[in-house]
Amino acid sequence: MTKFVLRRLLQAIPTLLGISILIFAVIRLAPGDPVNLFFDPTIKGEDLERMRRQLGLDRPLYIQYIDWVTNLARGDFGRSFVTREPVLSRILERLPNTIQLSLAAVVIALLVGPTLGILAATHRGGLIDQLVRVLAVVVDAVPNFWLGLMLILVLAVQLRLFPSGGMYTLRGAFMPPLLDRLWHLVLPALVLAAGPIALYSRLMRTEMLEVLSQDYIRTARAKGLAEGVVLYGHALRNALLPIITVLGGTLPFLFGGAVVTESVFSWPGMGRLFVDAAYSRDYPMVLGIAIIASVLVVLGQLLSDILYGIVDPRIRYS
Amino acid sequence: MVELTRREFLSGLAGFTAAGILLGCSRPSTPTPVEQAGKPVYGGTVIFGSPADAEILNPILHNDTASSNVTDRIFDPVLRVDPLTGQPAPWLAERWTVSDDGLTYTFYLRRGVRWHDGEEFTAHDVKFTFEAILDPRTRTVRKSNYDMIVGARARIDGKAAETEGIRVVDDYTLEITLQEPFCPFLIQGMVRGVIPRHLLEKSEDINRDEFNRRPVGTGPFKFKEWVKGDHITLVRNEDWWGRPGGPYIDQYIRKVVPDSTVVTAQLKTGDIDVGSIEPSDLDELEREEDLTIYRYDDLGYTYIGYNVSRPPLDDKRVRWALSLAVDTDSIIRTVLRGEGVRVAGHIPPASWAYNPNIKPPEYNPQRARQLLEQAGFKPGPDGIMQRGDQTLRFTLWVPAGQKIREQVAIIAKDQWKQIGVDVDIQFQEWNAFLERLRQGNFDLVISGYSLGVDPNPRAFWHSAELAPRGFNRIRYRNPEVDRLIEETVKVPGCDPEKRKRLYWRFQEILADDQPFNFLYSLKALVAIKRSIVGPNPTTFGGVFHNLHDWYIAK
């Protein structure tokens, strides 16, 4: 097991190196640069030239890449062009907020998605089944930003049930800080969970139907076990397997979703940091976030492989 | 700000920095009863919701409106821009004198001004601020704002440890000597916030100093906290020199609200008290009883630019035809919902240098067609005008996500079709769009400029500032314009009337040359909670110039 984990981690290094080249190429070949955003009628062309020089943008691209990647190997992510702070500390400042949001979304998705799937499977062809399937398709088809804006307009602005954004109340909070925080978390987490809910419910329904037609379920029923025990004691355990497989794959998906969701809900996480950095061509920041996100995705996949082995003892690590 | 960034445009935020705005007072759409009520009360918080977070809280380093919105409250400049007239006015300096040759400025500073940490403010701080800007190690685009000071060039190039022309006479007197007269000097150089020498003198690297996220100034508000990406909180400076007891409100919070739809939503829910809004949200917000809408004229304008270095756009008749074919007045009525002013040249009506005699091209498709015919164009088989191997087919580049400009592009395309000009519209992300302009890779473009408080148009129209190096992105060259631009900044005695005459001539030439179809200046719109007393947004002061006078009616 330890060997397996170690090998997987080592394998990740060339993957990350490849990603670094890819991301560097993508962001640097995109038209534009950070100095373009400097405007003021009192600025002269020479000021802009000097700035490009000071940022090191006048050097050949491959040298800039080599510089960056060697520093990275030493753990130095460089400094933001915009705020001039160390990239890593900026990311670490924001990362907990994104993790918080993503975890909340995963929890919601894991609670709601499979439950809907089970309901649909056990009521196959019935009204509930239809509803769940339609819901899954609709939620999956609706873009996150739209869903977010709609929830804000209806639940926050019209009904005033939830705050319309931010992480906590800035003025006149009427509940303790922890509750206030959770209250702010509900809508963005729900939006972020929408995609996974749709995925899990569909997956769960299919798996459940498959499992329910297995011999051992028939045996269990024949033994006279209560339906609840059959469903949750026998069927669910096996039907959960594929969900755990896709759990690791949900991570990059969540990060992608966080980029949009965080922007709509003013959630100060890594996703929004990435969007802002991309617009301002803050190269060190964009690259730093991409690398950290890639590391998280690799770790997430590893985790789901390990989990897979735990729930299904037939899986061997070799 | 020269060009409005995507996000600023989205939120209609453009105006609130020093580069802001005019025509004296704005008028609330309806007067509030409390405004007559009188006696200010202490207490409360004002929350401003805006799309961008500040970048860096140091007035010599930043170049974004979000940062200056915060630092303008924390730091004081030597002179400030008078919010009503746009002229330099006393602030940290009680008065100043100029020598007869227009070269030496002497500033007499206030006594008893204290930094937020209790240290006393002196002329050494002012000198330190300018020296820091000119220091070759400092990464700022402001160096050329001061390059006319004696010895500044040597300092920028690292050949001198100090700038000869910046002299501390005594703790409260500072003397600055220029190489040659430069009329915009005060409004360009002296309105920047002063930073404390005692805290930064020993800094290893001012670009990275922790000060930049925990600033200390002399201004009416003190820095309290900055939760990156979420909000910045400032609190009252009770010891502010400007008024015993300091501002009336306890706190000013700048909150990040990334989307203009959400700004509107949060104005309604009361999560924020102040927000810039777009014309399309006006109807909805005007119905809100808790909000007052303020409008003020902006120094910026939107244009359709012609790449004059690309034939046949080098032909003035073609440019005029394209301009005459667009019905700008109806665009203002419909797309802008009347919240805009037609402009005819580079200097919009809000500026003192505006030339009211220049008339914008009146919508006249017949005349446009005649001009094209005079230029030798005839309709081709597909109805598109052509001359020899030239066909009037262009690509119009529009920054993506700027709703109003996108609509303008679509209307213009339709109207150009009427005169036999075929235009393809392309949308592009803001930074990539700017790169395209810089490289000159376009025929037609919709964008915007915003003037500084001083109308000096050098950055955009002088041939020394041609892109890709400078901001003259349409590659405009005209020796007479160059000469006028140079002369306006060194008029003897900086006589405003004489400068104005030169600027008037400059505007006439530009209007005649028609390198742009100057379209409109969009009014700045801002919604403020009705219980807040005191806001008076102006062209030159923006929304928050008198935040220290605001109070919340009980």
- Residues of chain B neighbouring A279 (CB-CB closer than 8 A): 6-7, 429-431
Q: In this complex, is the C-beta atom of A11 within 8 Å of any C-beta atom belonging to chain B?
A: no
pLDDT at A316: 66
The token duo for B461 is: 């129209």
pLDDT at B29: 38
Return the residue matching tokens 């993503």. Answer: A102
Structure tokens at B237: 């400076």
Chain A residues in contact with B212 (beta carbon < 8 A):
83-84
Q: How far is B434 from chain A (nearest CA, A)?
A: 6
Question: Which residues does chain A have within 8 Å of residue B255's beta carbon, measured at their own beta carbons?
Answer: 166, 170, 266
pLDDT(B330) > 70: yes
The secondary element (H helix, E strand) that includes residue B113 is none
Residues of B with CB below 8 A from A272's CB? 229, 258
Which of B206, B266, B299 is the mutation pick for testing A, counting most A CBs within 10 A?
B266
Distance, CA of A33 to CA of A49 (rounded, Å): 12
ipTM: 0.86
Query: Which chain A residues are Cβ-neighbours of B53 within 8 angstroms?
Result: 276
Question: How would you classify the pairing of strands B45-50 and B251-256?
Answer: parallel
Indicate if the alpha-carbon torsion angle B165, B168, B172, B173 is positive or negative. negative
* Of A20, A19, A54, the residue nearest A34 (C-alpha): A54
What are the Cα distances from residue A251, in Å, to A77, A191, A289, B279? Answer: 23, 15, 15, 40
Q: Cα separation of A182 and A162, whole Å? A: 10
Question: Quick one: pLDDT at residue B150?
Answer: 97
Kindly state the percentage of chain B with pLDDT values over 90.
84
Which candidate from B143, B269, B435 shows the least CB-CB separation from A160?
A: B269
What pLDDT sits at residue B308? 93
User: Are B309 and B43 within 8 A, CB to CB?
Assistant: no
Nearest-CB residue to B145 (from A42, A79, A160) = A42
Residue B33 has pLDDT above 60, yes or no: no
Residue B468 preceded by cis peptide, ω within 30: yes
pLDDT digits (tens, 9 = 90+) for B94-149: 999 999 999 999 999 999 999 999 999 999 999 999 999 999 999 999 999 999 99
The segments of chain A whose pLDDT lies below 50 read none
Chain A residues 89-148 with CB within 8 Å of chain B: 90, 93-94
- Interface contact B141-A273, CB threshold 8 A: no
Chain B residues close to A30, C-beta within 8 Å: 432
Give the pLDDT score at A2.
Answer: 82
* Cβ pairs A/B, distance under 8 A: 175
Give the C-alpha separation, A245 to A249, whole Å: 7
Residue A18 touches chain B, beta carbons under 8 Å = no
Angle at B359 between CA B279 and CA B302, to 5 degrees: 35
b vs e for B93-119, b when ≥16 Cβ sit within 10 Å of the residue's Cβ?
Answer: beebebeeebbbbbbbbbeebebbeee
CA–CA dist B501, B479 (Å, integer): 18
How far apart CA B177 and CA B184 sit, in angstroms, is: 14
Partners of B93 in the β-ladder: B109
CA B81 to chain centre: 13
**Which of the pair, A253 or B35, is modelled with greater confidence?**
A253
Burial bucket for residue B264 (CB in 10 Å: 0-12, 13-18, 19+):
buried
Least confident of A180-194, B20-34, B411-425, B484-498: B20-34
Q: Which residues of B touch A163 (CB under 8 A)?
A: 271
pLDDT at B348 over 70: yes
* pLDDT average, residue stretch B365-390: 94
Instruction: Give the per-residue pLDDT at B37.
Output: 52
For residues A3 and A5, give the distance between their C-alpha atoms in angstroms, rounded to a whole number.
Answer: 5
- In chain A, which residue's Cα lies nearest the Cα of B463? A45
pLDDT digits (tens, 9 = 90+) for B181-231: 999 999 999 999 999 999 999 999 999 999 999 999 999 999 999 999 899
Strands (E) in B266-375, as ranges, are 274-276, 291-296, 300-306, 340-342
- In chain B, which residues have their Cβ closer than 8 Å to the Cβ of A177? none
In this complex, do B452 and A90 lie within 8 Å of one another by their Cβ atoms?
no
Nearest-Cα distance to chain B for A118, in Å, is 37
B56 and A82: CB-CB below 8 Å? yes
Q: Where are the alpha helices (DSSP H) in chain A?
A: 2-29, 45-54, 61-73, 87-122, 127-141, 144-151, 177-212, 215-222, 227-228, 236-239, 241-264, 270-279, 283-311
Are B373 and B320 within 8 A, CB to CB? Answer: no
Q: Do B143 and A50 touch (CB under 8 A)?
A: yes
Q: How far apart are CA B395 and CA B25, in angstroms?
A: 41
Residue B14: its pLDDT value, please?
A: 34
Which residues on neighbouring strands pair with residue A208, listed in sequence order?
Answer: none
Whether the pLDDT of residue B19 is over 60: the answer is no
Q: Which two tokens stand for residue B476?
A: 């405009």
Assessment of whether the complete model's pTM goes beyond 0.90: no
Q: Which residues of A touch B230 (CB under 8 A)?
A: 166-167, 266, 268
Select the residue from A35, A40, A265 to test the B interface by mutation, using most B Cβ atoms within 10 A: A40
Condensed to tens digits (0 to 9), the pLDDT of residues B306-328 reads 999 999 999 999 999 999 999 99
Report the Cα A151 to chain-centroid distance in Å: 20
Burial of B173 (C-beta count, 10 Å sphere; 0-12/13-18/19+): middle
Token pair of B384 as six digits: 């598109």
